[in-house]
Amino acid sequence: MEEQQQYVFIDFEFTMPEGKANPTGFYPEIIEVGLVTVINETIEEQFSSFVNPLKFPVLTGRCKKFLNITQDQVDRGISFEELVALLKKIDEQHPTTIVTWGNMDMKVLRQNCQKAGLDFPFSGKENDLCLEYKRFFGDQNQTGLWKAVQAYGKEGTGKHHRALDDAITTYNIFKLVEKDKSYMKNHEPTTIGDRIDLSKVLNHLAL
């Protein structure tokens, strides 16, 4: 019997330097995780936690203000090692596809694992939904997560830049894009002549 495919929609929030000039040796570290696991279009589990950064444990004022979080919340979070162990456990449950909005989440996770001397926890495919959205709709620029969901006439879940809310919003966009892809696959694309009554356009131009 074929094993069920698991989708993990994941979002991280990261530390930030105070200004544009990075302090010596600074690199972004994960300070919040939100994830949703989905099998057969059913949410199996949700997880949310703050995470202790290893290298730069004290948050900058800019980071706290932008993410609207406190030092105390992060101090009471899980360790990075615990986060990696949890992600590994989730990955081992089923064949897994990781879905993120943009490529930063996996880049930072890889770098943080490398810096901490830990193995990268995921073994399956990675899907950058932002890139897929861009290709599907022919957008020139990368679209922000909440702007993308609003383009569908919807609103994001909860608060933007809260990891679990952004992970759920990513899942909601994934469902909308998959529905559109399925529709496009089952319908021949129309020509512009099918969509526009050219005689009306010509009459209008002649006025």
Domain spans in the chain, listed from the N-terminal domain onward: 6-206
Q: Does residue 76 have a pLDDT over 90? A: yes
pTM of the full structure: 0.82
Structure confidence at residue 128 (pLDDT): 93
The conformation of residue 78, written as its DSSP 8-state character, comes to B
Identify whether 161 is a catalytic site residue.
yes
> Among candidates 5, 185, 4, 162, which has minimal Cα distance to 99?
5
Query: What confidence tens digit (pLDDT) does each residue in 109-119 have?
Result: 999 999 999 99
Stretch 86-110: mean pLDDT: 96
pLDDT band at 141 (very low <50, low <70, confident <90, very high): low
Q: How far apart are CA 195 and CA 33, in angstroms?
A: 45
List the CATH code of the domain at 6-206: 3.30.420.10
Q: How far apart are CA 197 and CA 188, in angstroms?
A: 19
Which residue do the tokens 């069920």 mark? 4
Q: How far apart are CA 95 and CA 193, in angstroms?
A: 45
Question: Sheet of 125-128: strands edge to edge?
Answer: 42-50, 30-39, 6-14, 96-100, 125-128
Question: DSSP readout, 120-161?
Answer: -S--SEEEEHHHHHHHHHT-SSPPPHHHHHHHTT---SS-TT
Considering the candidates 13, 41, 178, 204, report the single residue annotated as catalytic.
13
Residue with the bigger pLDDT between 28 and 186: it is 28
Beta bridge partners of 30: 14
Share of the chain above pLDDT 70, in %: 76
Considering the candidates 94, 132, 160, 161, report the single residue annotated as catalytic.
161
